[in-house]
Structure 1
Amino acid sequence: MKAKKVPMRMCLGCRQMLPKKDLIRIVLPKEGELSADPTGKAHGRGAYVCRNLDCLEKAAKQKAVRLPAQLVEELREEIMGGQS
């Protein structure tokens, strides 16, 4: 029996390929506003960031993706809650 393939995604902050389940998905639906997608199943274009404050800060500073301050704060709280 073959081993199951693990889906890999790239983090916006550190640019490393990591297992999809270890990342937080950020989604941009057709309706417009970026939001966190904890289920990973929301419709729209997705991007991923590590569950690491350094990666979140790097992703927020990049010009390629402009993350709203409210979303950055929401993700920061989710990351801090997961580290406790």
Structure 2
Amino acid sequence: MASTEEQGTHVAPKDCELGALMMDVRSGAVGIVMGRDDNVRVQLRPLNGGREWDADRVRRPTAREELDIRLGARDEMRRRGL
């Protein structure tokens, strides 16, 4: 499988829309854009809630990755009874 560096084009933090699903290139974690900091970093939050983190290199997930991410989040919510 290709690395996260090869799978998508990086998006500048200033171009990230609030509420968009993005992948942190460094960690491979996925989150929802909650804010931007001086167009240098993006604040991401996990889909099912939790603590925000800063990411300076992000990309949009591929269609397949987004489907897997959303199905995983739905299954997790179902396991929690929500």
TM-score, normalization by structure 1? 0.32
More strand by share: 2
